[in-house]
Amino acid sequence: MSSKNSIKVVIADDHAIVREGLKQILADTGEIIVAGEAENALEAIRLVRRGKCDVLLLDISMPDRNGIDVLKQLRKEYPDLAVLMLTMHREDQYAIRSLKAGAVGYLNKQSAPAELVNAIRQVAGGKKYITPTLAQELANQIGEDRDVPLHETLSDREYQTLTMIASGKTVSDIANELLLSVKTISMYRSRLLQKMKLRHNAELTHYAIKNHLVEE
């Protein structure tokens, strides 16, 4: 923590209205100070590198890079930085992946303001923040006899490609959005189809909707 009585927070979210709302919530606490805000991944990384930051509030859906990729990079550079994922994605979609990548907590943007403030205080103090829903999900994963859903065998990039294809995006769209080549995205697509024993995009989309990985 930067001082005895304050917690410095950087907010990384591409929606200005979300950032303003978060700043207002945190301003009411007195001891949580918003040290900076970023509308994309590049700005978030720059802000963390530039100054002392106790907690980074990081969205998964950023316009230039996926939040989990940013999380992995920052964890390598700043292993002690507390990164709290704050996103619209449901916990069963990205929470476990975020924790495995080094996040100290995961909150949905629809969470109550008091829950957000409590989470920031907790992770700034060196603890992890786990919601009851996520705790149940983690408990369900304990035990060797558990049948692992096929989508949980995918790498982060393969899973991301799966959800984007299922959302109606083409390989070219995904390549442009992730700043990768069409060839690379095609490779991820081939791998995930093979791992999940699917034949084409229609089956992939059906699987994603059936398993609530994307909105219908």
pLDDT given for residue 47 in this prediction? 94
Tokens describing residue 146: 């558990």
pLDDT given for residue 100 in this prediction? 87
pLDDT given for residue 95 in this prediction? 84
Q: Is the pTM of this model over 0.75?
A: no
Contacts of 50 (CB under 8 A, 6+ apart): 36
Point out which residues pair with 87 in neighbouring strands.
Answer: 108
pLDDT given for residue 22 in this prediction? 93
Q: How far is CA 151 from the centre of its chain?
A: 17
pLDDT given for residue 66 in this prediction? 84
pLDDT given for residue 213 in this prediction? 85
pLDDT given for residue 35 in this prediction? 93
Residues of the chain under the 70 pLDDT cut: 1-4, 91-92, 141-147, 216
- Measure the CA–CA gap between 30 and 9, rounded to whole angstroms: 13
pLDDT given for residue 71 in this prediction? 93
Q: Which domains, from first to last, does the chain contain? A: 7-140 (3.40.50.2300), 150-210 (1.10.10.10)
pLDDT given for residue 105 in this prediction? 92
